[in-house]
Structure 1
Amino acid sequence: MADIYKKIPMLISTTLDHYCNGPPQPSWDLKFHLMFQLRKSFTDDFIDLTIEQKQESSRLPVPIPAGITIIKSKVDNEYRHKAQVHLDKILKPYEHVLDTEWKILKEDGIAADWIQVPDDGWERRVVRKTIFFLHGGAYFLSSKDRHVNITSTLAKKADARVFAINYRLAPQNQFPAALQDALAAYMYLLSPPKDAGFEPLDPKNIFIAGTSAGGGLSIALGLALRDAGLPMCAGIIGWAPWVDLTHSSPSFLSNKYDNIDFVNILLTMPSIIHDKNNPRVTQVEIDYIEKAAALSEKIKKQNVKPKIWHDSFDRPEGRMQMYVPNEGLAIPYVSPMLAESLGDLPPLYLMAGGAERLLEEIIYFAHRSAEPTKYKGPSYNAGKFEKSPFHTPTNTTLEIYEEMPHVFQMFNSHACIEISYKHTAEFINRVLDSTNKPLPPSSFNRVNDKEEISPLNEHDKEVLKWEYFGIVPSFDLSAFKVPSRKL
């Protein structure tokens, strides 16, 4: 609460600015503008914190909405062991750039929640509609508890039960720890223990969904299921999915989004972690720095051919992400947009805000999945699509919500929010009804606050001509504000 009081001057100035100069986007009312500015302010403040402080703050639970029951659960480590068997096979080409510590299980299981409407009759249904939800947070922040407003609303609007987990976070847990946890939880749903409280689920009734990094992880899980030959889910829902950890889309580094999106470029990068000899650096950060340096040195010494990363991944400031070494940025289960093929996936529902930094990577990803023979990924993957067994176009629905920032559903004060839940529920029902009525073809549209649907505009389509996806752009981090740390 004290932090809110500190923001009162900012909220007053925002109110004055709203009425004197107008909102940043025409459809933003004062409430939405204030909520956005508050979120942006807290996000900017995060840069000044240690990793532990960021994680602790971002995990704080929010109140459980009325009319919702949450049942605590846990996925036993036996499912992590089962998942590891499959991941070992599909990650074989990339093992030389990975830290094997992900295989060391330090916890006794994966914390999980069932989010549901009381007395929903789910157990008695022929079709037990289930949403397996993966939270966002750039792979090193947040929790299932922090997203309860979104998961509870999904349960209500989609008339489904939502299963949400806390996957392991970076930098303490490197890729593929999060993917292993997601796969383990999915396998748990298909084959639960006798005391789980529910019967095994039909994968054709499960939708994997997530926001931001959780959206990217949802798609990565779909790719892992496809590549490992495991039972496929009914569909995948990505709300503002982070699908390109190389930051190669033009929109990501554009200053156009500085005042209309709260995603801070520096927050996604470990650039503010200081030298390990700095007395203000915490032990978690020291461990991370040392392990990252050791892994980088190990990779260089191996000199394995063919090299699986692009020369642009060699950055003078070191790692770009806490989740994975630079040499692993193009692994398809890290950056799904860079996969050799995005064909043969279950139906996709992708959502982006028209005012968010991730916009252009999501647009390109949608077209790559729907037209895999036309959009074949980064230049250094030339020829790999033809060798892939997955050439069938994926049925993809892309909706860009005009004037909306990243994961706008967290603000709870705009017509587009209600529309986005409605369209997500409609997608789920269309897929479940596709045995009787074929799905409509892939579509790429804009949606406004009046629920008017229009095709992508010419500016949206310009990114389809972009030739540098998967190539880390040249940018100087010193040009961005890196505040001094206060401990």
Structure 2
Amino acid sequence: MTVNTASAAVHIAPVVVKTLVRHKKERKARKKEGREAPQDDILFDEAFHIVKSFIELGTKNTVESLQAFTNTRIPSLYWVAISPVRVPLSSCNDAADCLIKWFGQNELKKVVGGERWWQVRGLDGIDAEWIAERDHIGDEEVLYEGKRISKEEQDIIRMEKLESVMFYVHGGGYFWGSINTHRHQIIRHAHKLKGRAFTVNYRKAPQYPWPCPVQDVLAAYFYLIRPPPEALHRPVDPQKIVFCGDSAGGGLCLSVLCILRDLGLPMPSGAALISPWVDLTHSFPSVMTNTQTDIIPEHGFLAKPSVLWPLDPAPKSPRVVPATTNPPPKPGEVDTLKPSLARAEVEERGLDVPQGHYAVETQEEMLEKYPSPDPAPAMVDSAKDLSTGETSRGKEGRSVDVKSPEEIIEDWEPKPAKVLMENPSQTPLELRSQIQMYATTEQLTHPLVSPISQSSLGNLPPLYILAGDGEVLRDEIIYLAHRAAYPSQYPVRDSVLEEVTRQRENVDKFTKPTQVHLQVFDGMCHVLTVFMFTDSARYAYRSIAEFIKHVTQSPPDVVEQKPFPEYNAIAIGDTPFIDMKKRPRKWARNKEKAQTLAPTLDQEHRKDNPESDELLEQNEAVISEEIPTRSPEMDSPRTQREGGRIIMLRERVDVRGIARIMEPQDAIEVLKIPADRIGQIREAPAMRWLRGQEEWDRKYRKQGLRVLEKRKHLIHQSERLIKHALDQGLVHESFPETMVGTPREKGTGRAVKRKTSIGEIQKDRRWGPLDLKDEKPPGSAIAARRDTPEALALLRKTIYHTAPVTHQTVPRMKASDAFRATMDPHDNPNAPPRQSVAEEQVDRSQIAALNGLRIWEKILGYLARKSSSKASDGVKSTMAFMQNHNHAKEE
């Protein structure tokens, strides 16, 4: 079963009924215990379980199926201006150059796997969209250079009148989701902002793993501030841009901000991060404790086996085994991707080492015996200068030729990551499978994969960070916010500094606290803005809009001192962002106090209001008065300043959208976790993933074996494709025989007449799948694979249609291949093949009105319009709608 409208309806319908049946009982139980939760509202309760059920459905299907479903193009709303554009290859190349500079050649080779493979793409750029509300841009006729242009192109020019720009990066675990799944959220943001939004459909893992998405987001930002000649928009001032991203998108925003900071490039005026995923090692407690209150699947993002994923669909050996070596790496750590020369000497040639080094020890013994992140240098006292070419004595007394430093580490491979065990007397476990689609296990702690491992998060623009108290990522988000605001108080673990020169330099270079507003929403789950009809989400949308307007439209000196408009907001009773007239009667007692103390949010009023500091103190007094049960030691200002500069706002927001002071830092347990435990692979989440993956291995064993056979067949097809291209005149350096003289037909010796097709060599396309000699991309990367249909489509496109500059010819397709393409309903010999759904949208416009995403939109829209008393009837109507649609489809 694939993920489609029918399967989603069948899967979700029972969930809707079950939620209705148990809702009243669970609500009564919470009321008896004196607890409040967002699930008290039937609207949220239904929506929460629908979303959770849909994501669980995705784990029972292939990655390609989920990607296709969530990347299906759907029509836009009539009152919204949506203008699709494509970020060109020239902007992609600018971003690639910056990444190459950021990494450096050594890290590119040893950590990333090369500088070419992640630049390979199927499309001629990156799909993106401009989004704004029509009422905000008008409908006057617009000419461009005296010529008439399309309505969508006119809208881009009309949007120029809108000052603030939200640059939105969508989430989806780095492997699913698209502009389509998030368009309605982005439209809501644009509506509240009264500005324009720009959003990018970056490439997804596992076909395009890290750092592909980072390059695409960086390229889209360059497209905004340095538009190419063909772009219709004028250059956007970075100070008029605010990054915004949810989940994986939030993590990407933070990574790109760090790159811009490190390279001294113009940064945006701020960033709003909604439930950002910043620790892919899952080292924080809430990953285990908040599973039941979040929409994320318990065992993570598993998938039914396909030719794409997992890489080992029918494993012959266990995915996790007891450790076979002592450190490195240490328990909980992934191995360094760039070994020291001394360690390479020990492991490659077996020099004399302390007795028992190769005997596997317990976790406690390992941690005590090898305190250094890289213990090998202390063991090799007898090693000679590795660059002299002298010989050293091996373990059995034999002479061993000493190679050059480059030769020693050239073929070195990192050891499997170790798991930090809860019982220190146990032997650590080792991971033998890739546990995240976005990056290899060895890459998970890299600062651009897990930004929580950045050595410094200082010197960034103001950050507005939102989290749900019930989500699994809650702890890492809280820790992230405090690390950014207080770089010196929350250092990174030593191993990060040992491995990367840039990270060591950044500790001393970027010490200025980043201004942070952290809000944790009571009871809410991951990406609370999905549930647009809740009070919490309404508050979040309005707050994000006010933050963006403030940092993009206020004078720089004002933003530097007071970067958050909430600085002047009343915390208890209400905020200026929420209309008190729409509040239920039981909150009316705070109305008079809120109206007395809360100033207007008018910008000029804020600028000319010198009493704001005094007002803040009054607001805080109100908070203390409203919460008499708080102990004296718990009372602290919600704002923390340094030299008059606001450093951090720390708040919690209840289910009605009412903010209050967050408890002091010393009362938050997650902030007490030692730095050396952050970014480590722990036993509990690793074993939970393993249990789920082993269950999937058993359930889909036969499917996994079929996948292996299909991969062999696809490899044969790719070999035939390349052979036929060479026969037709392909000239490329990977095939030296084509580079010398005139190609000759095998057997006859007759000269081959070169044949050309309708394709072309693109000057801005640097690399293709045939250009990856000496590179070591991740196993899932489409650029280096030949065993998936998507990989073959990419290979065929770069050979016959849009070749990179490394190709000297573009051959014509062989007659037999053209015939096969003619017989394939998904192919066309006269047009480029469709590219991976991880990159290109699925065009199903003819059935878009019935697409599952539209039905999901109808469900939420209906529930949002109806009151709780009518929700039951609404759900029944929705179920009937889905059943009628399925019946009509079958007929």
The answer to whether the superposition gives a TM-score over 0.5 is yes
Partner of 1:360: 475
Three-state SS of the structure 2 residue aligned to 1:266 is coil
Q: Which residue of 640, 645, 652 corresponds with 1:446?
A: 652
Higher mean C-alpha displacement, 55-64 vs 444-453: 55-64
Distance 1:253 1:71 in 2: 42
CA distance 1:237–1:303, shift in 2 (3 Å) = closer
> Is the CA contact 1:128–1:205 (under 8 Å) kept in the aligned structure 2?
yes
Three-state SS of the structure 2 residue aligned to 1:207 is strand
Alignment of 1:42 with 2:54, yes or no, is: yes
Distance 1:10 1:425 in 2: 34
1:423, CA displacement in angstroms?
0.8
Partner of 1:110: 126
What whole-Å deviation, never above 9, does each CA across 1:144-186 have from its counterpart, x for those lacking one? 1110111101111111111111101111112111000011111
Alignment of 1:11-410 (within 5 A): 11-22=16-27, 26-28=37-39, 29-61=41-73, 64-65=76-77, 67-92=79-104, 94-95=107-108, 96-100=110-114, 101-121=117-137, 128-254=163-289, 257-268=290-301, 281-285=305-309, 304-305=339-340, 312=418, 315-381=430-496, 384=504, 387-410=507-530
CA distance 1:158–1:479, shift in 2 (3 Å) = same
1:288, CA displacement in angstroms?
8.5
Distance 1:323 1:9 in 2: 32
Q: Which runs of 5+ in 1 are unaligned?
A: 274-280, 291-298
> Is the CA contact 1:131–1:161 (under 8 Å) kept in the aligned structure 2?
yes
Partner of 1:469: 678
What whole-Å deviation, never above 9, does each CA across 1:247-276 have from its counterpart, x for those lacking one? 11110122xx233111124334x6x57xxx
CA distance 1:406–1:284, shift in 2 (3 Å) = same
What whole-Å deviation, never above 9, does each CA across 1:393-430 have from its counterpart, x for those lacking one? 10111111111110121122211111001111121122
CA distance 1:38–1:219, shift in 2 (3 Å) = same
1:435, CA displacement in angstroms?
2.3
> Is the CA contact 2:202–2:213 (under 8 Å) kept in the aligned structure 1?
yes
What whole-Å deviation, never above 9, does each CA across 1:224-246 have from its counterpart, x for those lacking one? 11112111111111100001111
1:466, CA displacement in angstroms?
1.1
Partner of 2:661: 455
Distance 1:357 1:287 in 2: 26
> Is the CA contact 1:352–1:362 (under 8 Å) kept in the aligned structure 2?
yes
> Is the CA contact 1:116–1:162 (under 8 Å) kept in the aligned structure 2?
yes
1:387, CA displacement in angstroms?
4.5
> Is the CA contact 1:79–1:187 (under 8 Å) kept in the aligned structure 2?
yes
Distance 2:462 2:337 in 1: 40
Distance 1:246 1:471 in 2: 6
1:436, CA displacement in angstroms?
5.2
CA distance 1:74–1:479, shift in 2 (3 Å) = same
1:287, CA displacement in angstroms?
6.6
Three-state SS of the structure 1 residue aligned to 2:49 is helix
Partner of 1:294: none
Distance 2:96 2:278 in 1: 23
Amino acid at match of 1:85: D
> Is the CA contact 1:130–1:207 (under 8 Å) kept in the aligned structure 2?
yes
Partner of 1:425: 545
1:385, CA displacement in angstroms?
7.1
How much identity, in percent, do the aligned residues show? Answer: 30
> Is the CA contact 1:139–1:323 (under 8 Å) kept in the aligned structure 2?
yes
Distance 1:474 1:168 in 2: 31
Partner of 1:295: none
What whole-Å deviation, never above 9, does each CA across 1:15-49 have from its counterpart, x for those lacking one? 11001222886233111101110111111121111
> Is the CA contact 1:150–1:410 (under 8 Å) kept in the aligned structure 2?
yes
> Is the CA contact 2:335–2:417 (under 8 Å) kept in the aligned structure 1?
no
Distance 1:446 1:12 in 2: 33
1:9, CA displacement in angstroms?
2.5
Amino acid at match of 1:40: K
Three-state SS of the structure 2 residue aligned to 1:192 is coil
TM-score by length of 1: 0.88
Distance 1:232 1:125 in 2: 20
Amino acid at match of 2:223: Y
Q: Which runs of 5+ in 2 are unaligned?
A: 31-35, 138-156, 315-333, 342-372, 375-413, 420-428, 499-503, 564-645, 704-891
Distance 2:107 2:521 in 1: 36
CA distance 1:52–1:426, shift in 2 (3 Å) = same
1:223, CA displacement in angstroms?
0.6
Distance 1:156 1:303 in 2: 48
Three-state SS of the structure 2 residue aligned to 1:418 is helix
Distance 1:305 1:159 in 2: 54
Distance 2:556 2:516 in 1: 17
CA distance 1:370–1:385, shift in 2 (3 Å) = farther
Amino acid at match of 1:343: G
Higher mean C-alpha displacement, 87-96 vs 306-315: 306-315
Three-state SS of the structure 1 residue aligned to 2:123 is coil
1:55, CA displacement in angstroms?
1.1
> Is the CA contact 1:238–1:351 (under 8 Å) kept in the aligned structure 2?
yes
Higher mean C-alpha displacement, 136-145 vs 320-329: 320-329
> Is the CA contact 2:286–2:473 (under 8 Å) kept in the aligned structure 1?
yes
Distance 1:447 1:387 in 2: 33
Partner of 2:731: none
> Is the CA contact 1:170–1:322 (under 8 Å) kept in the aligned structure 2?
yes
CA distance 1:374–1:57, shift in 2 (3 Å) = same
Kindly tell me the number of residue pairs found equivalent between the two proteins. Answer: 468
Higher mean C-alpha displacement, 376-385 vs 144-153: 376-385
Higher mean C-alpha displacement, 372-381 vs 331-340: 372-381
> Is the CA contact 1:343–1:390 (under 8 Å) kept in the aligned structure 2?
yes
- Root mean square deviation of aligned Cα: 2.9
